[in-house]
A and B are shown apart, each in its own frame.
Chain A
């Protein structure tokens, strides 16, 4: 770590102190890129975003198109058909094209889930941490209750109430992941609220909202960014799990989990139908986790030795 260029930021020369100014972003970047895993995760995510955006231009087939004469065609290297690289499913749809379209769904919905629960969680957490007392107790008890329920079970219960659909599944996951953001923001707020800079801001007459959002919040970003990155991977996993259980996206939507839900019956005959969608879930979740770990190491000053 100590050989890292970033650690040389303020170079103290003997006698006269001389500061070499490095913008915090570059300092952060130097740490981040020193982790190969984090970099690999970032590259994968970039590639996935590109694939998602340009999906219509790169898919070999339409994801809904059923080739009746090409049911359960194995992948190319298993003496399959060169036009279906990863093979086809039981309805003769191209698996590669469906996975590519699935990238759009998984990435965009997961991002929305995180934005929704982050925004709500930050506001609730700030309120709890700033006002303390009764409000805080009520909020934190409610969060304890939500944490007492296994997250997937709670999500299932919410979907059961709202009815199974992609949007409801996304909503359920946002609600379920709320407590993490609330707890983080509250803890960070409590840590910051008595710092001198907050007190001086209060003394100079800043309003409650100004103090909460403009003075305190920017100082709590680091853990929230890390949690959000890891939150995306959780959202991808839960979304796929709900889809798999038939409670998320409904067929024929090419969502990764949904693609696996009726594939169990082909286990004996067509391994490719069950293998590839799961593999892509694993890789995307891994990419976000790698990036999240890298972000945490780069943003956590305690680890900078």
Chain B
């Protein structure tokens, strides 16, 4: 019978182990490629930020020198702030409506079985898989047929329409990840369906709803094509930029764009850091050294 024994004295020297050079080189390939990809991704944003400091006046296309004037007077150019305010109003209103309608649909689709469910799924999917020009053109045809005055409200109506589907998709994922037995547990503990929803289901859905609302707002705020079809003389921020592109965009547009960029970045990075701190706190509560993921 074979039996293991300890090694006799002659053993090779114990040496630290390092990966071979070739493997380290190929390992670096992807990070380097991705660094270049990130340069490509972020270059336009960097340009937008830079040109908010351009002394370019009304034709902000060529670098003319550094100035803070645009930042001191962001509403200095006509229509910049007005269109920005319009976009904010449209964004907030359409987000409110789309999030409400979409959340209801998401809950219904995941938690209920009813006839026409498959058809409803198709109805949700279609607006997302239709190019914006078509959505814009279709709505315009409708508004023209109804002889509706194009303006603020037609834009809000259009934005709610294309946002509902995105909200449904985002909230649905959250509802799907929720254990339906939680509601049964609430019912078991004397909660009425109404109480079970507001005390258990809704609080758990909030992160999903917030994410969906953020998505809806950014889609609405940034939309140009559908807005262009249905706004008449009403001007949103993207439309203002697009229309003035022909004769030169005031640097103040870049100021607004930069401010939005920074604000969004701060919110998102903040959320990441909070999540990281929370993870760390959790780890400390769980106690001691957490064995590395590969540990036995």
**Chain B associates with chain A:** no
**Which A residues are within 8 Å of any B CB, using their own CB?**
none
**Which B residues are within 8 Å of any A CB, using their own CB?**
none
